[in-house]
């Protein structure tokens, strides 16, 4: 990559991250289908990734903090890894749940109540 | 040019993000999310984070979401709920809370972040080499722990998804 | 023996330990007798040895300190014994009468089982120990040791036949009535410590005597508090109720504890602390009033009693009243004099009554006795001597002591003591009336018991017999003492020499002269302001004739062919009065209704209502219940719905953002 | 053995003993019992050594162990030491342990091993609480006491044991958690002033004294921290009206548990008042004295009244404890040297007398399996020796001169009279009620007609039981006749404690 100026304010990326986070949150809170909730959760994770990216991008621009610029990216890397693990376990859970009740509507799973 | 690419990708991500959570069909949800991930990968690329753009595509779009598709098809889920169906109070409060959090974050960004542009990451930036070196040196321990986590997730997923034998 | 006074009380204590052991091993009676009576006999010898030693040397007060008993902060109590004239007098008759009664008990208790016999002597020995500590103790706390100790023995001995509910209850009643008094006593001790810094007789009494005005207020308070103790121990109004019930114990116990020794402890205490009472005259006045009232009150009850021991019990209360009356008018030596003579004749009366009861197979009701004079002459004659003594007939022992008290009371009235002369006249009148009643009921007792014909069953009549020598010997000794005992205190009036009044002369050092300038100087005051020889002779004659009158009335009521007719008519005419007296003015019932029952109900209320319901129920378990209730309500937040939880998390995030802004 | 380690040996000895017991197989019950007995006797011997090495002329803590850092970041260390006050209570504790083990010889037949381990752990906890010179360490020992006692009541207790155990545990816990808050506050304020973290008793003592007194309770740190400590101790004592856990715990606990509970555990409360509340918060103490006095006097009278109508012997004795500890609190509240010495002595006395009473009630309970007074009557005829012992202990409990109870009560009341004569007058009424309820019980159990035929076969007290009660009786008489033995070691300590 060439070290030219990129005229995107880092705030824009953060705004995008915020919007995606809200969309994801609405999805998590308003869907009943377990898999859809999970998808929305992935969206929220990605919005967080985007926020990390934004800061990594900004720190890289200033000489004082340049040394830490990589950390943001490393973090995104780890988040992706964790998300992958989570997806594997989560989906396995849904399969197990489906076996039990023939549905993955989370409102039907409430045996832990009072 | 870069700006336009970013704006386009952002618009794409928002539109398909909404689709990914709002559409009734899970298949459409997953496929919309694929588009979102592609858009994000594009943004990473624009910001000079080549490696991340690549794994975003490979791991997320390529592996995780395909896993979702497999599961949806395995369970044969056609269409389920509409957005916000079922509990009305939960839906209203959920939407309000989410938007309120978003609004708070937006306000926070607006007040705390300077609006001017920044320098792109230089050559030290986002290629596989510096990241790989950092993972093998500074972040070796977490890296190894992640491998442990993945193994645990693998085993856990196997155990959970296994048919119960009596 | 002087120099190691501790041996005197220790001997009976050893006897107590031995008898407990013997009782446990179920040893033969003879062994118990040796241990029980022997130890007291040795103690008596030791006591007299000490007394002789004391008399042979010039010091009037000797204090022997052994070790520090209690010491903390400003409070120090030494384990120390003290011998002075008062101790000598008390110790002399306590050991001697005690020994005689122990001897008497050999015969009286012979029918008991081996263990009971040993138990009896164990308790009796423990009593002797406590009584000796009481009289020897050199400070109020040490006196209190004996004071409570004799109370304990009284409890144990009254309840000796513990399987009888009445005996057990009477013992408890005695202990508790004493306890009430004792609380006053200990409060008095605390006040003494606080005011004088010490409760040793040789320390605080001289301080008080030296500064009479300075300590007048506190002395009154201390005197009254200590006197509360005396009303308990010496059965005065209002705590006398235990003494009549104390007759449930074996008769030697009644003779020793409830007539001769323990009950006079209160008098001993007042005399011992005479300085306190003299500088706090209000307390002294209370002592006199309580004594005078008790004297006539108890005497009036005795008139209608049919139980031979109950008559004697009320008689004892009445006589104790005399002693307090004497102490209360400042005639301390006279009070002690009466204590001594009373010990002789009342112990004799009780032992004689015991002999009678022994003969009548345990029956104590005088209505079924009569004519015993012929069967048991020794008992009769000795009993008669004691009766004449208590009635105040010249020259028997009681005459001198009782007359001394009455004379001094009249003198107090004449000299307008404390400005309450009229009050002392009233008290004197009460005393002289009580003397009349005393003569009456005592001869009523004699006539009903010993004269006329036997009124019991034939079987009982067949069983009548004179008691064995172990029982009659003490009777005879005490009989002699009842006759001549009074000669240790012949008034100056008769001889013209004050020194002939041995006991008063001897006890002189006990009454410490007060510091200068005190208005209530009594000790010297009263005798000098005596009413004059003419009036004194007159008083003497009055009391003598009153006593004779009492005897004559009793004779006309209860002797001869028309015996019991007049009393019957009297009862017919005044049925209410008779019933009132017969039932002891219903005081026991009143106490029961006013004090005991309400206390019991209040205790139940405390337990059931306050403790169980309010504190434990509402507050403690109520708190637990509220905790449970809160959890019960809050658990409904656990809907089990994942989306609710997710919403909660989101709201929590929002909340955090708002808070941390 | 270096003298410095003596206190460590005494304190941790029982815990080590418990560890030994843990390795003895549980089915060897006899071995378990003997081992526990030997350990407790060795303990007593060690504490006698403590007594022998104690110098009564020194006011402060002596025989101190080395200060070993435990949590150095917070200045918490292992540090033990005794003064005359704790010495007596340590002696009492180690004396009661063999008694408890002998008394439980027959009555505990299940989980013998666990019982003795619990007892020994409890001993360590109690001793530790008495000798800790680090407040945090004290708190740890204090809380440690709850666990074995909870098991002792809950496992070997009577029919309502679970209720009683839980009540005991939670009730005590409520108080002590607040005390922890108080301790932390003290350490924090000490840190603010000295910039050093410390939980040492001496440091927190200074910190407590420097706490502000405000105009009202809620604005006054010293009063608030005082109250946090006082609540914990008042519940433990227990003072009226925090006493209702006691009758339940006592009635349900096994005999041994009752002895320990009455004998030592309750003393921790009064000891806490003396060791912590009084010297640490002198101003707040001064402000609270009227309240403590009133509660103490109410406790004395109220405990006696309620005891009067109890149908159950153990409950009666339990309520009598409330009454007796009221005397102790009265003596502490009055704060003269005499009353304080009397109070400390009365703690020991109460341990001996009430311990012996519980033991003796246990003796008869083992035979007839009832503690109801109404189930007895006239049994003095069949069990004369037992009657004699019971009577002696009763008399000690009601304060007969010549026995221990009198000396304590006398000093308390005489010392209190100087400052609060009115309180003494009311408290002295407790002496009357004390005699009433005790003698009434004695009358209904031992005297009166022999009404229950099944009591005919009652066996008199046996040698083992006599051996258990004998040490208590010896000390009951000893303290009564020559209390100076026990008063003189604490004189200097009490004097210096009250000077502040």
Chains C, A in contact, 3 or more Cβ pairs below 8 Å:
yes
Q: Which domain holds residue C622?
A: 595-634
Is A103 a member of any domain?
Answer: yes
Is C161 a member of any domain?
Answer: yes
The model's confidence at residue C516, banded by pLDDT at 50, 70 and 90, is: low
Query: For A6-15, A73-82, C188-197, D202-211, which range has the lowest pLDDT when averaged over its residues?
Result: A6-15
d(CA C325, CA C236) in angstroms, rounded, equals 11
Report D:359-418 residues touching C (Cβ under 8 A): 378, 380-381, 384-385, 388, 395, 400-402, 406-407, 410-411, 413-415, 417-418
Question: Is the CB of A67 inside 8 Å of chain B's CB atoms?
Answer: no
Three-state secondary structure along C53-119?
A: HHHHCCCCCEEEEEEEEEEECCEEEEEEEEECHHHHHHHHHHHHHHHHHHHHHHHHCCCCCHHHHHH
d(CA B132, CA B121) in angstroms, rounded, equals 17
d(CA D492, CA D253) in angstroms, rounded, equals 37
How far from chain centre, in Å, is Cα C183? 15
How far from chain centre, in Å, is Cα B104? 22
Is C649 a member of any domain?
Answer: no
Which residues lie closer than 8 Å to C111 by C-beta, 6 or more apart?
A: none
Q: Indicate if C11 and C100 belong to the same structural domain.
A: yes
Chain C neighbors of A109, CB-CB under 8 A: 640, 642
Chain B neighbors of A78, CB-CB under 8 A: 142, 146
Phi, psi torsion values for D357, nearest 5 degrees: -65, -45
Whether residue C524 is predicted with pLDDT greater than 70 in this model: the reply is: no
Is A1 a member of any domain?
Answer: no
Q: Does an H or E element contain C189, and which? A: helix C165-196
Looking at per-residue confidence, does C509 or C633 come out higher?
A: C633
- Give the mean pLDDT of C335-349: 93
Of B93, B100, B104, the CB nearest to C647: B93
What number is the ipTM of this complex?
0.81
Report C:590-649 residues touching B (Cβ under 8 A): 643-644, 647
Percent of chain C clearing pLDDT 70 (strictly above): 97
Whether the CB-CB separation of A87 and B67 falls below 8 Å is answered with: yes
CA neighbor of C327 nearest in space, from C270, C402, C376, C280? C270
Q: How far is A35 from chain B (nearest CA, A)?
A: 8
Compute the count of residue pairs across chains A and C with CB atoms less than 8 Å apart. 30
Q: Indicate if C134 and C146 belong to the same structural domain.
A: no
Give the residue from C138, C162, C189 where a domain finishes: C138
Q: Indicate if C45 and C192 belong to the same structural domain.
A: no
Whether residue D1 is predicted with pLDDT greater than 80 in this model: the reply is: no
Is A49 a member of any domain?
Answer: yes
Is A80 a member of any domain?
Answer: yes
Whether the CB-CB separation of B10 and B43 falls below 8 Å is answered with: yes
pLDDT, position A66:
63
Q: Which residue has the tokens 């076996």?
A: A99
Which residues lie closer than 8 Å to B129 by C-beta, 6 or more apart?
A: none
pLDDT, position A3:
45
Whether the CB-CB separation of A20 and B15 falls below 8 Å is answered with: no
Is A2 a member of any domain?
Answer: no
Question: Is the CB of B85 inside 8 Å of chain C's CB atoms?
Answer: no
Whether the CB-CB separation of A33 and C643 falls below 8 Å is answered with: no
d(CA D269, CA D257) in angstroms, rounded, equals 17
Characterize C604-636 residue by residue with b for buried, 16 or more Cβ atoms within 10 angstroms of its Cβ, and e for exposed. eebbeebbeeebbeeebeeeeeeeeeeeeeeee
pLDDT, tens only, C467-480: 888 889 999 999 99
Percent of chain D clearing pLDDT 90 (strictly above): 84
The model's confidence at residue D218, banded by pLDDT at 50, 70 and 90, is: confident
Is A42 a member of any domain?
Answer: yes
Give the residue from C138, C164, C179 where a domain finishes: C138
Is C276 a member of any domain?
Answer: yes
Q: Indicate if C457 and C390 belong to the same structural domain.
A: yes
pLDDT, position B155:
93
Whether the CB-CB separation of D427 and D297 falls below 8 Å is answered with: yes
Whether residue D340 is predicted with pLDDT greater than 80 in this model: the reply is: yes
Q: How far is C631 from chain B (nearest CA, A)?
A: 24
Instruction: Calculate helix-pair angle for D463-481, D384-397, nearest 10 degrees.
Output: 30
How far from chain centre, in Å, is Cα C321? 11
The model's confidence at residue C523, banded by pLDDT at 50, 70 and 90, is: very low
Looking at per-residue confidence, does C525 or D428 come out higher?
A: D428
Chain C neighbors of B83, CB-CB under 8 A: none
Closest alpha carbon within chain A to C636: A114
Mean pLDDT of chain C: 89
pLDDT, position A61:
63
Q: Does an H or E element contain D81, and which? A: none
d(CA C316, CA C325) in angstroms, rounded, equals 14
Q: Which domain holds residue A65?
A: 13-108
- Give the mean pLDDT of C443-462: 87
Mutate to test the interface with C, among A22, A24, A28 (most CBs of C within 10 A): A28
pLDDT, tens only, B1-13: 778 888 999 999 9
pLDDT, position D442:
94
Chain D neighbors of C600, CB-CB under 8 A: 308-309
Question: Is the CB of C657 inside 8 Å of chain B's CB atoms?
Answer: yes
Task: Using alpha carbons only, give the angle D243, D245, D251 rounded to the nearest 5 degrees.
Answer: 115
Q: Indicate if C630 and C555 belong to the same structural domain.
A: no
pLDDT, position A7:
66
pLDDT, tens only, D389-439: 999 999 999 999 999 999 999 999 999 999 999 999 999 999 999 999 999
CA neighbor of C549 nearest in space, from C447, C389, C436? C436
Question: Which DSSP string corresponds to C530-544?
Answer: ---HHHHHHHHHHHH
Is C589 a member of any domain?
Answer: no
Q: Is C392 left (phi over 0), alpha (psi -120 to 50) or beta?
A: left
Q: Which chains touch A (3 or more CB pairs under 8 A)?
A: B, C
Q: Indicate if C242 and C127 belong to the same structural domain.
A: no
The model's confidence at residue A65, banded by pLDDT at 50, 70 and 90, is: low
Task: Using alpha carbons only, give the angle C316, C321, C327 rounded to the nearest 5 degrees.
Answer: 130
Is C641 a member of any domain?
Answer: no
Whether residue D113 is predicted with pLDDT greater than 70 in this model: the reply is: yes
Whether the CB-CB separation of C341 and C389 falls below 8 Å is answered with: yes
CA distance readout (Å), C595 to B59, C175, C579, C592 = 93, 16, 23, 6
pLDDT, position C562:
75
The model's confidence at residue C530, banded by pLDDT at 50, 70 and 90, is: low
Closest alpha carbon within chain C to A106: C642
Whether residue C291 is predicted with pLDDT greater than 60 in this model: the reply is: yes
- Give the mean pLDDT of D176-184: 94
- Give the mean pLDDT of C245-273: 92
pLDDT, position C528:
45
Q: Is there a contact between C635 and A111 if contact means CB atoms under 8 Å apart?
A: no
Give the residue from C107, C138, C169 where a domain finishes: C138
Q: How far apart are the first and last CA of chain C?
A: 96
Q: Is there a contact between C657 and B104 if contact means CB atoms under 8 Å apart?
A: yes
Chain D neighbors of C75, CB-CB under 8 A: 338, 411, 414-415
Tokens of D489: 């070691």
pLDDT, tens only, B117-162: 454 444 446 778 888 888 888 889 999 999 999 999 999 999 888 8
Whether the CB-CB separation of D280 and D190 falls below 8 Å is answered with: no
Rg of chain A on CA atoms, in Å? 19
Is C69 a member of any domain?
Answer: yes
Q: Is D315 helix (H, G, I), strand (E, B) or coil?
A: helix
Q: Indicate if C540 and C608 belong to the same structural domain.
A: no
Looking at per-residue confidence, does C358 or D477 come out higher?
A: D477
Q: Is there a contact between A29 and C641 if contact means CB atoms under 8 Å apart?
A: no
Q: Indicate if C126 and C177 belong to the same structural domain.
A: no
d(CA C197, CA B94) in angstroms, rounded, equals 82
Q: How far is A81 from chain C (nearest CA, A)?
A: 23
Whether residue D125 is predicted with pLDDT greater than 80 in this model: the reply is: yes
Chain B neighbors of C643, CB-CB under 8 A: 87, 90, 94
How many distinct structural domains can be found in chain C? 3
Is C648 a member of any domain?
Answer: no
Tokens of C394: 């010249």
pLDDT, position B12:
94
Give the single-character DSSP code of D263. I
- Give the mean pLDDT of D60-86: 92
Tokens of C323: 């002693």
- Give the mean pLDDT of C254-271: 92
Q: Is D110 helix (H, G, I), strand (E, B) or coil?
A: coil
Q: Does an H or E element contain B119, and which? A: strand B117-119
Whether the CB-CB separation of D237 and D266 falls below 8 Å is answered with: yes
Is A55 a member of any domain?
Answer: yes
Is C162 a member of any domain?
Answer: yes
Whether the CB-CB separation of C452 and C374 falls below 8 Å is answered with: no
d(CA B47, CA C110) in angstroms, rounded, equals 121
How many distinct structural domains can be found in chain A? 1
Characterize A51-89 residue by residue with b for buried, 16 or more Cβ atoms within 10 angstroms of its Cβ, and e for exposed. bbbbbbbbbbbeeeebeebbbbbbbbbbbbbebbbbbbb
d(CA D288, CA D278) in angstroms, rounded, equals 10
d(CA C153, CA C130) in angstroms, rounded, equals 8
Of C643, C647, C650, the CB nearest to A106: C643
Q: Where residue A27 sits, what CATH number does that domain have?
A: 1.10.287.3510
Is A7 a member of any domain?
Answer: no
pLDDT, position C525:
44
Percent of chain D clearing pLDDT 70 (strictly above): 100
Question: Is the CB of D309 inside 8 Å of chain C's CB atoms?
Answer: yes
Q: Indicate if C262 and C184 belong to the same structural domain.
A: yes
């Amino acid at each position: 990559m060439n070290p030219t100026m990129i005229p995107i304010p880092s705030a824009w990326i953060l705004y995008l991250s915020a919007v995606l986070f809200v969309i994801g949150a609405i999805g998590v809170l308003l869907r009943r289908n377990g898999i859809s909730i999970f998808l929305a959760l992935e969206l929220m994770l990605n919005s967080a990734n985007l926020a990390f990216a934004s800061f990594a991008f900004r720190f890289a621009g200033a000489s004082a903090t340049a040394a830490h610029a990589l950390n943001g990216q490393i973090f995104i890397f780890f988040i992706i890894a964790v998300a992958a693990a989570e997806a594997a376990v989560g989906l396995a859970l849904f399969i197990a749940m489906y076996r039990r009740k023939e549905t993955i509507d989370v409102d039907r799973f409430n045996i832990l109540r009072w | 040019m870069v700006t336009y690419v970013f704006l386009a990708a952002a618009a794409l991500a928002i539109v398909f993000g909404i689709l990914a959570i709002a559409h009734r069909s899970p298949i459409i949800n997953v496929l919309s999310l694929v588009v979102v991930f592609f858009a994000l990968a594009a943004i990473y690329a624009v910001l000079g984070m080549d490696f991340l753009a690549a794994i975003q595509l490979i791991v997320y779009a390529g592996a995780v979401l395909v896993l979702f598709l497999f599961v949806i098809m395995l369970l044969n889920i056609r269409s389920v709920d509409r957005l916000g169906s079922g509990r009305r109070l939960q839906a209203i409060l959920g939407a309000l809370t989410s938007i309120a959090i978003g609004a708070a974050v937006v306000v926070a960004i607006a007040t705390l972040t300077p609006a001017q542009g920044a320098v792109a990451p230089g050559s030290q930036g986002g290629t596989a080499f510096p990241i790989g070196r950092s993972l093998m040196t500074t972040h070796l321990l977490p890296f190894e722990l992640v491998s442990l986590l993945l193994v645990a997730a693998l085993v856990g997923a196997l155990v959970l998804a296994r048919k119960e034998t009596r | 023996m002087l120099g190691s006074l501790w041996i005197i009380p220790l001997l009976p204590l050893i006897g107590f330990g031995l008898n407990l052991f013997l009782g446990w091993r179920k040893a033969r009676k003879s062994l118990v007798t040796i241990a029980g009576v022997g130890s007291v006999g040795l103690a008596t010898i030791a006591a007299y040895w000490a007394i002789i030693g004391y008399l042979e040397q010039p010091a009037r007060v000797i204090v022997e300190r052994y070790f520090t008993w209690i010491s903390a902060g400003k409070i120090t109590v030494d384990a120390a014994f003290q011998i002075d004239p008062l101790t000598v007098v008390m110790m002399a008759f306590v050991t001697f009468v005690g020994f005689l009664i122990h001897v008497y008990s050999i015969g009286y208790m012979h029918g008991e089982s081996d263990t009971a016999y040993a138990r009896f002597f164990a308790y009796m020995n423990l009593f002797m120990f406590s009584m000796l500590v009481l009289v020897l103790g050199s400070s109020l706390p040490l006196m209190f040791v004996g004071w409570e100790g004799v109370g304990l023995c009284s409890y144990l001995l009254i309840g000796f036949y513990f399987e009888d509910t009445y005996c057990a209850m009477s013992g408890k009643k005695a202990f508790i009535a004493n306890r009430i008094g004792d609380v006053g006593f200990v409060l008095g001790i605390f006040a003494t410590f606080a005011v004088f810094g010490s409760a040793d007789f040789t320390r605080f009494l001289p301080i008080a005597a030296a500064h009479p005005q300075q300590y007048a207020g506190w002395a009154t308070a201390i005197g009254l508090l200590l006197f509360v103790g005396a009303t308990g121990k010496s059965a005065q109004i209002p705590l006398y109720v235990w003494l009549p019930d104390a007759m449930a114990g074996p008769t030697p116990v009644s003779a020793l504890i409830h007539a001769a020794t323990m009950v006079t402890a209160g008098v001993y205490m007042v005399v011992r602390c005479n300085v306190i009472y003299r500088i706090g005259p209000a307390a002294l006045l209370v002592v006199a009033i309580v004594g005078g009232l008790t004297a006539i009150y108890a005497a009036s009850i005795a008139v209608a009693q049919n139980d031979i021991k109950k008559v004697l019990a009320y008689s004892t209360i009445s006589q104790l009243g005399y002693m307090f009356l004497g102490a209360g008018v400042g005639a301390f030596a006279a009070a002690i004099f009466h204590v001594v003579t009373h010990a002789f004749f009342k112990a004799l009366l009780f032992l004689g009554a015991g002999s009678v009861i022994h003969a009548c197979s345990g029956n104590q009701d005088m209505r079924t006795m009569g004519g015993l004079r012929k069967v048991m002459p020794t008992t009769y004659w000795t009993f008669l001597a004691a009766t004449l003594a208590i009635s105040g007939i010249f020259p028997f022992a009681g005459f001198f002591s009782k007359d001394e008290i009455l004379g001094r009371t009249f003198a107090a009235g004449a000299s307008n003591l404390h400005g309450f002369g009229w009050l002392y006249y009233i008290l004197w009148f009460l005393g002289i009336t009580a003397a009349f009643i005393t003569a009456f009921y005592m001869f009523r007792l004699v006539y009903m018991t010993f004269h006329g014909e036997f009124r019991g069953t034939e079987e009982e009549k067949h069983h009548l017999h004179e008691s064995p020598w172990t029982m009659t010997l003490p009777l005879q000794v005490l009989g002699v003492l009842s006759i001549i005992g009074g000669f240790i205190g012949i008034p100056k009036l008769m001889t013209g020499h004050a020194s002939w009044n041995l006991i008063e002369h001897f006890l002189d050092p006990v009454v410490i002269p007060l510091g200068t300038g005190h208005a209530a100087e009594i000790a010297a005051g009263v005798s000098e302001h005596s009413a004059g020889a003419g009036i004194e002779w007159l008083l003497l004659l009055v009391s003598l004739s009153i006593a004779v009158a009492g005897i004559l009335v009793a004779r006309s009521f209860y002797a001869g062919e028309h015996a019991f007719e007049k009393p019957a008519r009297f009862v017919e005419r005044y049925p209410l009065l008779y019933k009132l007296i017969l039932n002891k003015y219903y005081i026991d019932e009143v106490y029961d209704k006013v004090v005991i029952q309400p206390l019991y109900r209040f205790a139940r209320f405390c337990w059931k209502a306050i403790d169980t319901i309010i504190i434990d129920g509402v507050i403690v378990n109520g708190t637990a219940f509220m905790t449970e209730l809160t959890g019960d309500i809050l658990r409904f937040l656990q809907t089990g719905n994942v989306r609710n939880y997710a919403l909660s998390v989101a709201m929590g995030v929002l909340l955090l953002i708002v808070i941390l802004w | 053995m270096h003298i410095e380690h003596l206190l460590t040996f005494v304190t941790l000895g029982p815990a080590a003993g418990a560890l030994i017991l843990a390795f003895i197989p549980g089915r060897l019950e006899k071995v378990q019992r003997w081992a526990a007995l030997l350990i407790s006797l060795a303990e007593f011997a060690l504490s006698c050594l403590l007594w022998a090495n104690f110098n009564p002329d020194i006011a402060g803590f002596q025989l101190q162990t080395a200060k070993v850092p435990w949590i150095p970041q917070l200045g918490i260390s292992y540090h033990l030491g005794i003064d005359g006050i704790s010495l007596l209570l340590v002696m009492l504790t180690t004396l009661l342990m063999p008694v408890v083990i002998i008394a439980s010889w027959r009555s505990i037949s299940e989980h013998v091993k666990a019982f003795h381990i619990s007892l020994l752990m409890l001993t360590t906890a109690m001793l530790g609480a008495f000798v800790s010179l680090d407040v945090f360490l004290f708190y740890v020992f204090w809380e440690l006491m709850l666990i074995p006692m909870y098991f002792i009541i809950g496992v070997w207790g009577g029919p309502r044991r679970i209720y009683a155990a839980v009540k005991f545990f939670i009730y005590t816990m409520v108080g002590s958690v607040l005390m922890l808050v108080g301790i932390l506050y003290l350490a924090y304020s000490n840190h603010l002033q000295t910039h050093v973290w410390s939980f040492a008793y001496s440091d927190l003592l200074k910190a407590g004294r420097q706490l502000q007194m405000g105009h009202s309770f809620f604005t006054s740190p010293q009063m608030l921290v005082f109250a946090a400590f006082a609540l914990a101790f008042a519940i433990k004592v227990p003072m009226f009206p925090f006493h209702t856990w006691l009758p339940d715990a006592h009635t349900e606990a096994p005999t041994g548990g009752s002895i320990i509970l009455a004998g030592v555990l309750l003393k921790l409360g009064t000891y806490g008042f003396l060791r912590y509340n009084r010297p640490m918060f002198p101003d707040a103490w001064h402000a609270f004295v009227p309240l403590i006095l009133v509660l103490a006097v109410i406790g004395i009278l109220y405990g006696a009244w309620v005891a009067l109508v109890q149908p159950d012997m153990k409950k009666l004795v339990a309520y009598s404890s409330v009454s007796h500890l009221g005397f102790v609190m009265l003596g502490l509240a009055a704060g003269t040297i005499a009353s304080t010495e009397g109070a400390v002595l009365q703690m020991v006395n109460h341990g001996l007398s009430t311990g012996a009473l519980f033991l003796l009630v246990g003796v008869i309970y083992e035979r007839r399996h009832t503690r109801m007074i109404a189930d007895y009557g006239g049994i003095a005829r069949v069990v004369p020796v037992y009657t004699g012992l019971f009577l002696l202990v009763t008399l000690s409990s009601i304060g007969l001169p010549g026995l221990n109870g009198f000396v304590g009560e006398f000093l308390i009341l005489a010392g209190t009279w100087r400052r609060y004569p009115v309180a003494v007058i009311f408290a002295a009424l407790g002496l009357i009620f004390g005699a009433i309820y005790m003698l009434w019980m004695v009358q209904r159990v031992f005297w009166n007609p022999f009404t229950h035929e099944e009591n005919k076969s009652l066996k008199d007290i046996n040698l083992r039981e006599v051996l258990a009660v004998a040490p208590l009786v010896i000390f009951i008489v000893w303290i009564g006749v020559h209390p100076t033995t026990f008063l003189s070691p604490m004189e200097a300590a009490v004097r210096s404690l009250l000077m502040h």
